[in-house]
Amino acid sequence: MNGMGLRWQRCVAATVLGLLVSLTLSACDSNEDDPEPSLAGTWSITSVRIGGSDTNVLPLLGLSGAGVSIEENGTYSVFGQSGGEPFETNGTYTVDPADGTLTLTSDSFEGPITFDYSVSGNTLELSGADASLLAELAGIELPIPIQGSVIITFSRQ
């Protein structure tokens, strides 16, 4: 009877182990759609490129500590310093994952501003909006005039 009980316990253990391996492999199935990376969090601006240029103009804009805080509840805050003076703009956003667009609205500027967006790991990239809207978005005056399509790169904090 002891041999039979031991065999039964081994059979049960092998079955449980097989079930666990099966569940683990099915949970890691590469055919499943990966969830959309979250925009929520605090992001620091690492570069601003304009008009398809590879030149980072962020140092020329006189911005320091600039970034955006994006909340899961659909609100955001753009913050930083311009010319040594702190600024902050708050508003709401909507995301259209199918189109890959992020639309920002606020009482601080006229009309919504829509960007194409992508998130890869700890990097967020916004592109497509006119660069002249950056000052409106932050509620500041920039030290240099800027025009053209903008690409803003952020790093997750």
Digit-coded pLDDT (tens) for 4-57: 443 433 333 333 333 333 333 334 444 445 556 789 999 999 999 988 888 998
The residues facing 95 across adjacent strands are 102
Mean pLDDT value across residues 116-138: 87
C-beta separation of 142 from 135 below 8 A: yes
The residues facing 53 across adjacent strands are none
> What percent of the chain has pLDDT above 90?
45
How far apart, in whole angstroms, are the C-alpha atoms of residue 25 and residue 23? 5
Question: Closest Cα to residue 142, out of 63, 77, 51?
Answer: 63
Please give the residue that has the higher pLDDT: either 91 or 129.
Answer: 91
Q: Are residues 119 and 92 in the same domain?
A: yes
69 confidence band (pLDDT: 50, 70, 90): very high
Q: Are residues 46 and 19 in the same domain?
A: no
Q: Are residues 50 and 90 in the same domain?
A: yes
The residues facing 155 across adjacent strands are 44, 123
Q: What is the pLDDT of residue 95?
A: 96
Q: Are residues 23 and 49 in the same domain?
A: no
Q: What is the pLDDT of residue 35?
A: 55
Q: Are residues 62 and 116 in the same domain?
A: yes
Domain count, the chain: 2
Q: Are residues 25 and 73 in the same domain?
A: no
76 confidence band (pLDDT: 50, 70, 90): very high
C-beta separation of 39 from 70 below 8 A: yes
Say how far residue 22 (Cα) sits from the centre of its chain.
33
Pairing of strands 85-96, 149-156: unpaired
Say how far residue 119 (Cα) sits from the centre of its chain.
5
Quick check: 58 pLDDT over 80? yes
76: which residues sit within 8 A by CB, 6+ positions away?
68, 69, 70, 90, 91, 92, 93, 104
**Average pLDDT of the chain to the nearest whole number:** 78
Please give the residue that has the higher pLDDT: either 3 or 129.
Answer: 129
Residue 5 belongs to what domain range?
Answer: 1-32
Coil, helix or strand at residue 34: coil
Segment (H or E) for 94: strand 85-96
Q: Are residues 120 and 54 in the same domain?
A: yes
